[in-house]
């Protein structure tokens, strides 16, 4: 199986995760910018985070043969914090960089006026930078939130084929499919969406314009959920080419619209700014 995880927060994961992802066939991924689990207190905190997503984390993934790309944005939750408002002004210089293949995660958390503003402004940035957008749907009030999300996308002028609306379920998939946007599904270990329900959705709606991700982060999550969904598809009678379409061709086609995907090329460097992921060895001076 070859796998491209289109949404996974590797910053929150260990090298063991990289190792087991590589072992089951994950060779590329996109890490969207998101909330840290506690509020950031200044714009500078985002600067360091964005720099690590285009630098250190990309280097770390490469040590396991995994191509790391990212999506950058002010996340929906922190769009409500006035201390973070200026992050949107910072984005244009980051959206021009290598390895940045989308604007995201943007969208709604609690559907406040501040979120409306940040969402619309960041979709404008996606239009201006010819990038796709990764749009998060709220975990509460999901159906209403998804319909409102689709309205904002329509008004933005960003073509629907450049938008993935993520964290969908049985209730929200139809409206997103009808809109022409890509349908994203985050497969979780307990609640929300699991691989068995995902297989049922693929049976009903087909494999086109569907992205399956692990959305693994600092919470209870599993970075092998893409692989497990592929296994569940095979067990349910889908063939290898269907699995390859969902777990590889679809994310490549979606993020390929950025013109910035790198899926081959030279091997990874062994150090990043003089530091390696090794420790206690001559090459490993930088860790702690």
Binding site for Zn ion (CB under 5 A): 34, 215
Name the residue nearer to Zn ion (CB basis): 71 or 277.
71
Q: From CA 199, how far away is CA 232, in angstroms rounded?
A: 7
Name the residue nearer to Zn ion (CB basis): 76 or 99.
76
Name the residue nearer to Zn ion (CB basis): 148 or 167.
167
CB of 164 to Zn ion, least distance (A): 12
CB of 132 to Zn ion, least distance (A): 15
Q: From CA 145, how far away is CA 109, in angstroms rounded?
A: 9
Name the residue nearer to Zn ion (CB basis): 95 or 215.
215
Name the residue nearer to Zn ion (CB basis): 104 or 277.
104
CA distances from 195 to 127, 215, 220, 236 (A): 33, 13, 16, 11
State the DSSP string of 56-106.
HHHHHHHTTT-EEEEEE---TTGGG-GGGTTHHHHHHHHHTSTTEEEEEEE
Which residue's structure tokens are 């293949």?
A: 101
CA distances from 145 to 1, 66, 116, 126, 184 (A): 34, 34, 12, 21, 15
Kindly state the DSSP code that residue 34 receives in the 8-state scheme. Answer: -
CB of 212 to Zn ion, least distance (A): 14
Q: From CA 59, how far away is CA 254, in angstroms rounded?
A: 23
CB of 34 to Zn ion, least distance (A): 5
Closest alpha carbon to 182 in 161, 206, 152, 153 = 161
Name the residue nearer to Zn ion (CB basis): 138 or 277.
138
Q: From CA 38, how far away is CA 127, in angstroms rounded?
A: 30
CB of 72 to Zn ion, least distance (A): 13
CB of 32 to Zn ion, least distance (A): 6
Name the residue nearer to Zn ion (CB basis): 35 or 56.
35
Residue 173 DSSP SS3: helix
CB of 86 to Zn ion, least distance (A): 22
Count the helices and strands in the chain (H runs, E runs): 11, 8
111 dihedral zone (left: phi>0; alpha: psi -120 to 50; beta): left
């Amino acid at each position: 199986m070859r796998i491209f995880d289109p949404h996974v927060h590797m910053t929150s994961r260990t090298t063991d995760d990289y190792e087991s992802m590589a072992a089951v066939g994950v060779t590329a991924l996109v890490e969207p910018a998101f909330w840290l689990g506690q509020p950031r207190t200044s714009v500078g905190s985002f600067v360091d985070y964005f720099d690590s997503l285009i630098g250190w984390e990309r280097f770390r993934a490469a040590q396991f043969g995994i191509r790391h790309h990212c999506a950058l944005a002010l996340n929906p939750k922190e769009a409500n914090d006035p201390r973070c408002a200026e992050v949107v002004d910072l984005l244009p210089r980051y959206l021009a960089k290598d390895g940045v293949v989308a604007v995201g995660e943007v969208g709604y958390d609690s559907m406040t006026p501040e979120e409306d503003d940040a969402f619309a402004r960041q979709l404008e940035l996606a239009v201006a930078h010819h990038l796709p957008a990764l749009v998060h749907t709220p975990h509460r009030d999901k159906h209403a939130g998804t319909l409102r999300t689709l309205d904002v996308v329509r008004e933005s002028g960003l073509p629907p084929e450049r938008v993935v609306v993520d964290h969908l379920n049985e209730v929200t998939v139809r409206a997103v499919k009808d809109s022409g946007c890509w349908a994203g599904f985050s497969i979780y270990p307990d609640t929300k969406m699991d691989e068995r329900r995902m297989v049922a959705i693929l049976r009903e709606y087909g494999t086109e314009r569907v992205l399956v991700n692990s959305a693994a982060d600092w919470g209870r999550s599993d970075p092998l959920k893409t692989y497990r969904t592929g296994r569940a598809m095979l067990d349910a009678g889908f063939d290898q080419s269907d699995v390859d379409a969902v777990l590889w061709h679809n994310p490549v086609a979606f993020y390929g619209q950025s013109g910035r995907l790198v899926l081959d090329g030279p091997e990874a460097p062994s150090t990043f700014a003089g530091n390696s992921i090794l420790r206690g060895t001559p090459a490993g001076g930088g860790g702690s």
